[in-house]
Structure 1
């Protein structure tokens, strides 16, 4: 089976099939964007505990110990600096953050063959944001992703990390795309993998103390049984993990769903005619 997954081929410009509507025009994606470390903030864990009330309180408390003139100057700086930057961006004197990564057209994702979507999340259950156990699981998680990104043969195609806004649910979520369910299972159960070591530590202590919660869901997606659309967006989701191709027909969900099916029929007919 031909593969169009850059984490396997390391070639985002190669198309292997024939179809319509710019299906073979692969849009190159910066390798930097494919790393989960891109834009990752190591202090995200504190966001689960810090509110606007904390920030206001810190500012008011600091003003009690600073001369009035210094408090006034600092207030103006923190007010004027972001305001001026925003005005300059409106008049194109400054670039919008990450503007260069935006694909200025409508695209869809292309991944030949079955794949797996794996969701994994975590949240702190205790009152201490600096609890050693929760910091350890964060470090272990980053190490596991680094291991996966360093070895394309493991079957991990890519993913991205998100921060939840509902404190009742998961605080952090990582969406992962895998070449197959077998590859995912093989890595998670390999005796010397980081995942096995993390789970052993979890079962020894955290499973019973519950300092943090952890969850995951796995979905098998059959070849062609998915549909994606991205309009004026940076590479994201399945398109980031595999390949992005142009698709200017916005209201064409059924067409995108059927395109891979038609493509496979063409491939099968070509294979049959050559025998």
Structure 2
């Protein structure tokens, strides 16, 4: 997908349900590098695997930081079924890493916090508007389309 600025107002070309997965970590004790570094390194490995094989269902992801100790990833998935299948697949990176991370968390209680949230947003319950922007978020995951004149947020959200 291009990162060039698209002139005017556009919207995400998504249809149907949208699956948004947020996952992150918080370094509770910086000095316990041996506890949080493996957790920190696990996500880029999984994202590389998912980026190499688009059939796994990850459409787009964005890495973010909330503070010097909090890191998270916003992911857009093709479906909840693909997300759950990847999480459970024994031949993919997630399942073995999840076991390692759980063991590390038990041994190093309170050194690193981990969390995730999953949202399945039904069609008609999401909206995206971009003005003079390159594709980001839903627009990057699903592509963009021109925003139709005269259509209001209440029309797009079906309120």
With the shorter chain as reference, the TM-score category is: 0.7 to 0.9
3-state SS in 1 of match to 2:133: coil
Q: Gaps (5+ residues) in structure 2? A: none
1:238 pairs with one of 128, 132, 138: 138
**Residue 256, structure 1, aligned to residue 156, structure 2:** yes
Match of 1:136 in 2: 38
Cα distance in structure 2, aligned partners of 1:249 and 1:161: 33
Alignment of 1:81-100 (within 5 A): none
**Residue 147, structure 1, aligned to residue 49, structure 2:** yes
132-141 or 117-126: bigger deviation: 132-141
Runs of 4+ in 1 over 4 A off after TM superposition: 248-251
Query: In the TM superposition, what whole-angstrom CA distance separates every residue of 1:39-98 from its partner, at most 9, and x where no partner exists?
Result: xxxxxxxxxxxxxxxxxxxxxxxxxxxxxxxxxxxxxxxxxxxxxxxxxxxxxxxxxxxx
Q: Which has the higher strand share?
A: 2
Cα distance in structure 1, aligned partners of 2:103 and 2:150: 51
Query: In the TM superposition, what whole-angstrom CA distance separates every residue of 1:20-39 from its partner, at most 9, and x where no partner exists?
Result: xxxxxxxxx32xx5xxxxxx
Higher relative contact order (CA 8 A, sep 6+): 2
3-state SS in 1 of match to 2:7: coil
Aligned-pair Cα RMSD in Å: 2.1
Q: Gaps (5+ residues) in structure 1? A: 1-28, 34-100, 259-275
Query: In the TM superposition, what whole-angstrom CA distance separates every residue of 1:93-125 from its partner, at most 9, and x where no partner exists?
Result: xxxxxxxx3222111111122231111111111
Number of matched residues?
A: 157
Q: Rg: which structure is higher? A: 1
Cα distance in structure 1, aligned partners of 2:157 and 2:104: 46
Cα distance in structure 1, aligned partners of 2:80 and 2:127: 20
Match of 1:172 in 2: 71
Q: Tell me: CA distance 1:164–1:250, structure 2 relative to 1, closer, same or farther (3 Å).
A: farther
Cα distance in structure 2, aligned partners of 1:203 and 1:125: 16
Query: In the TM superposition, what whole-angstrom CA distance separates every residue of 1:118-172 from its partner, at most 9, and x where no partner exists?
Result: 111111111327x13322222211010111111111111112111114x6xx711
1:211 pairs with one of 108, 111, 115: 111
Cα distance in structure 1, aligned partners of 2:107 and 2:144: 44
Match of 1:103 in 2: 6
8 Å contact 2:22–2:73 — kept in the other structure? yes
Q: Which has the higher helix share?
A: 1
Give the structure-1-normalised TM-score: 0.52
Deviation at 1:248, TM superposition (A): 5.8
